[in-house]
Chains A and B, each alone.
Chain A
Amino acid sequence: MAESAARSTRIPQPSSPAGWILVGLGAAGFAYLLYAPVLLLESFLRTLGGVFMFATLALAWNIIGGFAGYASFGNVVFFGLGGYTVATLMAKAGWTFWPALVVAGAVGVLFAVLMGLPILRLRGHYFAIATLSVAEGMREIVVNMPSLTGGGAGITIPAVGLEATTSYPGNTGFYYFFLILLLVALAVTWRVSRSRFGYSLRAIHQDEDSAAALGINTTRAKVAAFALSGLLTALTGAIYAFQQVTIYPNRLFSIEFTVLMVVMAVIGGTGTIFGPVVGAVGLQFLSEYLRQNYLELHTVLFGAIIILAVIFLPNGIVESARELRSTKRIRFLDNVKANRL
């Protein structure tokens, strides 16, 4: 664990020729994404929006899980809270979307701090289990508060007609919402990665006691990382809820979202800037392909893919690509040897 964290602190050199090529490709790709709505089918825009959404979720998980090394298995709680904040404010209080979105973000931060202060004292599996329980418990609470949340039958945001407080942005609108949020998440991750705060988190990941001994306020750093993760996740959940119009607690607090965030970050590369995005793009398209071609089997296949990825790509695609560049080969079996008993 310490070893992988140490490797992830290596920052790509933007001054090298390969770095400039990457920057150029990135700029071209970005320009394409901006114009994409003009060029592409509506249905494909929706798929792309989903990819951006999961990339943002994976980046948000990466801050607490990848940088700080705290394996949150309940990040979906922020997603659900963000979504339900927007839905409740728009459906029951007649708010418009934008102020509701701001409140959703605030709820995410507040809940992360309140939940993080006691729970971030736990380490390893205990933290994972505690976060998972908070998410599951929150779902049950939302189910059992039908007057406010609509309960298990769901809640519908007024999106059309006279009832609508904010006109429905459609596929193109949500495409841009998710794209902007992804860029924000990337910028935040990039900033964190190079800041003193980011190095504190990496130090905590490698050895928390030593980090504390070096004068890092570990509690503050961990809670801040959790709050940042919660903020981005809650904002994503808020936009997702508006896109879905009708939301259900079993969907919005689904453990599947948490697992997807973690899987995408892990497959791409935890503790890196682009890893979670790479993982999200790869896995979303793969999942979409499986869903279309193997309707019944697709969840089973997905389970098998997770197992294989964990065994053979434990360092993630980004790290493996770097390895490929420097040693001209990917050592799948060496990865296995490093982690096996």
Chain B
Amino acid sequence: MEQFLQATINGLLQGGLYALVGVGFSLVWGVIHVVNIAHGAFVILGAYVAWKLDGAFGIDPLLGLVVAAVLLFVIGYAVQRGVINLVINAPIWMTLLLTFGLELLLVNGLILIFTGDYRSIATSYASGGLSFGDVRIPYGRLLAFGLAVLLTGLLAMFMSRSKTGQAINATGMDRVTARLMGINARHIYALTFAISAALAGAAGTMVGIVGTFNPVDAGVFTLRSFVIAVLGGLGNMWGALAGGIVLGLVEAWSGQYLSGTLIHAIGFGVLILVLIVRPTGLLGRPYSEARAET
């Protein structure tokens, strides 16, 4: 029972972090209709930025997180404005290929610079934890979870309350009409992608604080983002949080009973099942219908 409880808590906390990884991916897919295969590479890039700042200048990872997010924001804006916007009306496999090319570039660039060794960001506080009987809650994971919920909440509020957020929503729903209303779609797309990249950078820093990372992990984070976005419904912030937590719990529970890497197969199984049975995600999808998408 305690083992199960511990697995549940681990899954819940890990799920929060997954949500932070996936929420930006979901936003981009929902608004720009681009499946960003390079999203996982952005996560890893964020982790390396914070790791390097910590290692070279002794900057606290929590401050490094802000730097990573800002840097990724700038990179994301430039990539969307300068590259992805150029193929936005091409068939979907073009944007898939484009972002895959970007992923190859980033991941192999990172391997060239930092090698493929596993790294982690050491902090004085992440290793401690609360204990309730035999159940333990590490501070690092709690921090990651809290930050994920906070950022998701802020993003949801930004999207629904601010004028810019509403412009993003409007562009996602109907780009042509949004442009007629005076919205600069090129800027809005770039901004959306930049926010997504910034969140990925923040998530990457937390990934580095609670565990290890290397460039090749990028693919796994992208795949998890697929699951989270589809589970939660595209462009749905709270849906992404729910999707992340479901994925975290499913992985933690199946990890108790299944060996090795079979838990990844479970993730894909859940994804395919949801796609087939309920393609609008657990909490529904605010944009157009999944099966009518062209």
**In whole angstroms, what is the CA distance A118 to B274 when docked?**
12
B35, B83, B189: which has the most chain A beta carbons within 10 Å?
B35
- 0/1 per residue, B84-109, Cβ < 8 Å to A? 01111111111011101111111011
Residue of B nearest to A299 (CB): B108
> A93 in the interface, Cβ–Cβ < 8 Å?
no
Task: Check if B59 is an interface residue, CB within 8 A of chain A.
Answer: no
Are B294 and A124 neighbours in the complex by a CB distance under 8 Å?
A: yes
Interface string of B256-294 (1 = CB under 8 A from A): 000111101100110110011001000000000011111
Chain B residues lying within 8 Å of A300, measured Cβ to Cβ, are: 104-105, 108-109, 112
Query: Given A134-B268, A262-B93, do A125 and B98 touch, yes or no (CB 8 Å)?
Result: no
Indicate if the CB atoms of B275 and A122 lie closer than 8 Å. yes
- The A-B contact count (CB < 8 A) is 164
Q: Is the CB of B87 within 8 A of A124?
A: no
Which residues of A, 264-315, contact B by the 8 Å Cβ criterion? 266, 270, 296-297, 299-300, 302-307, 310-311, 314
A123 pairs with B96, CB closer than 8 A = no
Q: Which of B83, B88, B226 has the most CB of A within 10 A?
A: B226
Residues of A with C-beta under 8 A to B88? 339-341
What CA separation (Å) do A1 and B87 show in the bound complex? Answer: 12
**How many whole Å from A232's CB to the nearest CB in chain B?**
19
- Cβ-defined contact, B112 with A297, below 8 A: yes
A144 contact set on B, CB distance < 8 A: 259-262, 265
- In-complex Cβ contact of A123 among B106, B109, B293 (8 A): B293
A306 to B103, CA, bound (A): 11
Q: Mark A45-81, 1 if CB is under 8 A from B, else 0.
A: 0000000000000000000010001010100000000
Q: Smallest distance from the beta carbon of A272 to chain B beta carbons, Å?
A: 14
Name A297-341 residues within 8 Å CB distance of B: 297, 299-300, 302-307, 310-311, 314, 336, 338-341
Range, interface on chain A: 35 or more
Question: In the assembly, what is the distance between CA of A216 and CA of B85, in Å?
Answer: 35
* A-chain residues with CB within 8 Å of residue B269 when the two chains form the complex: 137
Mark each residue of chain B from 222 to 238: 1 if its CB lies under 8 Å from any CB of chain A, else 0. 01001000100000000
User: B268: which A residues are within 8 A, CB to CB?
Assistant: 133-134, 136-137, 140
What CA separation (Å) do A240 and B285 show in the bound complex? 42
> Given A123-B293, A125-B293, is A266 in contact with B97 using a C-beta cutoff of 8 Å?
yes
Instruction: Name the A residues within 8 Å of B186 (CB-CB).
Output: 341
- Is B42 in the interface zone, CB < 8 Å from A? no
Determine if A143 and B260 form an interchain contact, defined as CB atoms under 8 angstroms apart: yes
Q: Which of B85, B89, B103, B226 contacts A303 (CB 8 A)?
A: B103
Tell yes or no: B29 within 8 A of A by CB: yes
Q: Are A307 and B83 in contact (CB under 8 A)?
A: yes
Q: Which residue of B lies closest to A73 (CB)?
A: B96
Q: Is B119 an interface residue (CB 8 A)?
A: no
| Beta-carbon nearest neighbor of A305 in chain B | B101
Contact with B along A87-125 (1 / 0, CB 8 A): 000000000000000000000000000000011011111
Q: Which B residues are in CB contact (< 8 Å) with A65?
A: 93
Interface residues of A (CB under 8 A from B): 1, 4, 65, 69, 71, 73, 118-119, 121-126, 128-130, 132-134, 136-137, 140-141, 143-144, 255, 259, 262-263, 266, 270, 296-297, 299-300, 302-307, 310-311, 314, 336, 338-341
**B residues bordering A, Cβ < 8 Å?**
29, 33, 35, 83, 85-94, 96-98, 100-106, 108-109, 112, 185-186, 189, 219, 223, 226, 230, 259-262, 264-265, 268-269, 271-272, 275-276, 279, 290-294
Known: A132-B223, A303-B103, A340-B87. 8 other contacts (CB 8 A): A4-B91, A73-B96, A125-B35, A126-B290, A129-B275, A300-B104, A310-B87, A314-B90
The 9 A-B pairs at the shortest CB distance, nearest first, are namely: A303-B104, A306-B101, A137-B268, A303-B105, A140-B265, A71-B93, A307-B101, A124-B293, A339-B90
Please name 10 pairs of A and B residues whose Cβ atoms are closer than 8 Å in the assembled complex, sorted by A: A125-B33, A129-B35, A133-B226, A137-B272, A140-B265, A303-B108, A310-B90, A310-B101, A340-B89, A341-B89
